[in-house]
Structure 1
Amino acid sequence: MITAPIIIFVYNRPDHTRRTVEALQKNELAGQSALYIFSDGPKTPGDIEKVSEVREYLKTITGFKQINIIEQTRNCGLASSIISGVSQIVNLMERVIVLEDDMVTSPYFLSYMNEALDLYESNNDIVSIHGYLYPVQQPLPEAFFLLGADCWGWATWKRGWRCFNDNGQFLLDELKRRKLVRAFDFNGTYPFSKMLEGQIKGTNNSWAIRWYASAFLAGKLTLYPGRSLVHNIGNDNSGTHCGQTSNLDSDLSKTAINLSNVVVENSKEGNYAFEHFFRQTQSGLLPRLMRKVRTLLFTTQR
């Protein structure tokens, strides 16, 4: 198995960064994997101390085949950091696994990612692999595909990343022209199109909503696990736009994901489970919290 390089994007949260790295170190394939860490520069003088603390910790990391630390002298922001960093590494290495500094992974995360990257490398219908799964209640297959792309612990190939279009206005116009807005919003259960409008207006600088829209419009599929391999620890009020909530918390899978016999098609079960989950969040305080955190997922900026 050819192990894909791993990228972690970090900023000013040393404790979150440490937990993310320590979880990754427990993966069987960590010692066979190259790790690239992009450390963004401080946005304000008040961020300097925490950014420095993160960078001091990065120097102590072991347990990977190779460790490369890229320290930015200025603040690039999350969107620019991810677009540039992913492009740089995937163009060099042909495939990449992407994490941020608040994503704790299952010990089976790297095996799942690398196996799927190998398995679907030549299938042009598949654009990416995803590690996080919402805490849905409906039964799901061991793994399944959905249209589009996602952003909490993911992987892609050079050919997949070529789908990415950073022009939000073009993407929104295409969704409207092709009458796909409702489908893009999971049958109207969640306003992802509004997030895209926000990116165009400058109220957010989301790379992820453009990644989702790019893959969706191209008719490409992303693989999801039937049990989550990623737990986001950033919903604790420590992130730039994050309120404290546990509504998106998923238990990490205690077993490996079996990728044999996965049907390569837009999953009816997966779509139903996601739509049901989104509908459940559309009353009272819960939807406001859900919208806030889901917006964070797609629009975090610094």
Structure 2
Amino acid sequence: MPEVLAPVVLFCYNRPWHLRQTVEALAANALAPETELIVFSDGPKTEAEVPLVQEVRGYLSTVEGFKSTHVVAAAQNRGLAVSVIAGVSEVLARHERVVVLEDDMLCTPDFLDFMNEALGTYKNRADVFSVTGYAPPLALPPKYPHDVYLVPRTSSWGWGTWRNRWQQADWQVLDFEKLRKNKAERRKLTRGGEDLWPMLVKQQRGVIDSWSVRWTYSQARRGAYSLYPVRSKIRNIGTDGSGTNFTFSTSYYGEELSDQQVHFPPELRPDPAVQEVLGRFYKLPWPVKIKNWLRYRI
């Protein structure tokens, strides 16, 4: 375990009930009393949302159980993408590593142990851009021997990174035209999933506002990877229709949580069989491909 623990940066908006669950789960971690908590509270979009934002901030003023708690309250709504890019950049200007949560993530009691050990173990691995506590429901090979794996796709659910990786992000996607014209270059991105290129196109055309697809793109440019656990330390409770990115309801994401101890092989390498599973999981169905072509010429 590193001598200096990574601060936790938490982004929240207008869901006090989700936020309370997220903070209480985080506070149940053994390392919480030694961990700095920095909360970025976004401002209301409309007058109708003012009471909920005020309720969120009222709750935040009562939070205890951490080494320190600092709340950054935005006067106006900035949106999640701007908030994450600016907030993580601000914290990493003062710290070498960071753990990031949003207000709809339940974590296991050993989440902070997992994240800090992962960030410590792979801090000098230039090919590892980020780590996450979330395990998507991949059907991993039965004989896969490790507790963690590497894939060329980042996660925005309970994740962490280092200052020197975050500083390499290209939030403007300056190579977009090169990518658009060059299939070989696009394959560097779509190794992480067929859905990533359509997402990046929509991002650049202003259809969506996603920091995470740009973060994955920045990782892909350098042929780097993200580290995932085989058994999840994170459950997303925001897929109940209340969130910004999930306006439909599903309980699909993170039903199984595990506080089983994890071993981190320092020389861990990407596994081709895991990569194949990842590709199948994020393979787009033909109706979606046709829709993307008709609407966006993707």
- Length-normalised TM-score, structure 2: 0.88
User: Which of the residues 238, 257, 261 maps onto 1:234?
Assistant: 238
Contact 1:144–1:224 (Cα < 8 Å) also in 2: yes
The equivalent residue for 2:295 is none
* 1:60 paired residue number: 62
- Distance verdict in 2 for CA 1:201–1:87, change over 3 Å: same
Distance 1:254 1:40, change over 3 A: same
- Tell me the equivalent position of 1:161: 166
Q: Could you say if the C-alpha distance between residues 245 and 282 of structure 1 is closer, same or farther in structure 2, counting changes exceeding 3 Å?
A: farther
Q: Which residue of 2 aligns with 1:296?
A: none
Aligned partners of 1:132 and 1:37: how far apart in 2?
Answer: 20
Tell me how far apart the structure 2 counterparts of residues 211 and 72 of structure 1 sit (CA, whole Å): 23
Q: Kindly state the Cα deviation for residue 97 of structure 1 after the two structures are TM-superposed.
A: 0.4
Counterpart position of 1:112: 114
- With over 3 angstroms needed to count, the CA separation of the structure-2 counterparts of 1:92 and 1:13, relative to structure 1, is same
Amino acid paired to 2:217: A
Letter in 2 for 1:46: A
Q: 166-175 or 72-81, which moves further after superposition? A: 166-175
Whether the 8 Å contact between 1:96 and 1:156 is mirrored in structure 2 is yes
- Looking at structure 1, the residues matched to 153 and 196 of structure 2 have their Cα atoms a distance apart, in angstroms, of 12
Change (3 A) 1:131 1:172: farther
Q: In structure 2, what is the Cα distance between the partners aligned to 1:257 and 1:180?
A: 35
Give the superposition deviation at 1:40: 0.4
| One-letter amino acid of the structure 2 residue matched with residue 209 of structure 1 | V
Distance (whole Å) between structure 2 residues aligned to residue 174 and residue 163 of structure 1: 18
Q: CA 1:181/1:96 → structure 2, altered by over 3 Å: closer, same or farther?
A: same
Q: Is the 8 A contact 1:135 1:250 kept in 2?
A: no
Report the TM-score, using the length of structure 1 for normalisation: 0.87
The aligned amino acid for 2:155 is: D
| Aligned with residue 225 of structure 2, among 221, 226, 230 | 221
Change (3 A) 1:174 1:218: farther
Q: Residues 75 and 186 from structure 1, CA distance in 2 versus in 1: closer, same or farther, beyond 3 angstroms?
A: same
Number of residue pairs matched? 284
Query: Once structures 1 and 2 are overlaid, which stretch shifts more, 209-218 or 247-256?
Result: 247-256
Matched residue type, 2:275: N
Provide the alpha-carbon RMSD of the alignment: 2.2
Corresponding position: 1:150 with 2:155 = yes
Runs of 5+ unmatched residues, structure 2: 293-298
| Cα distance in 1, alignment partners of residues 42 and 171 from structure 2 | 20
Taking the TM superposition and a 5 Å limit, the aligned residue runs for 1:187-206 are 190-206=194-210
Distance in 1 (alpha carbons) for counterparts of 2:28 and 2:274: 29
Look up the SS of the partner of 1:92 in the other structure: coil
Check 1:121–1:263 CA distance in 2 against 1; reply closer, same or farther (3 A cut): closer
Matched position secondary structure for 2:136:
coil
What is the distance in 2 between the residues matched to 1:247 and 1:197? Answer: 26
Report the CA distance between 1:77 and its aligned residue. Answer: 0.8
Q: How many angstroms does 1:172 deviate by?
A: 6.0
The answer for the alignment partner of 1:79 in structure 2 is 81
| AA partner of residue 61 (structure 1) | V
Aligned equivalent of 1:91, options 93, 97, 103: 93
Structure 2: distance between partners of 1:275 and 1:200: 23
Deviation at 1:256, TM superposition (A): 2.2
Distance 1:66 1:274, change over 3 A: same
Amino acid at match of 2:102: E
Structure 1 residue identity aligned to 2:111: F
CA gap of 1:272–1:210, structure 2 versus 1, over 3 A, is same
CA deviation vs aligned residue, 1:255-284 (integer Å, no higher than 9, x gap)? 12211x3543333233122223234x8489
Look up the SS of the partner of 1:96 in the other structure.
strand
Cα distance, 1:149 vs structure 2: 2.5
The change in CA–CA distance for 1:203 and 1:239 in structure 2 (over 3 A counts) is same
Shift of 1:248: 2.8
- Give how far 1:25 is off: 0.9
Letter aligned with residue 85 of structure 1: G
User: Is the alpha carbon distance of 1:282 and 1:108 closer, same or farther for their aligned partners in structure 2, counting shifts above 3 Å?
Assistant: farther
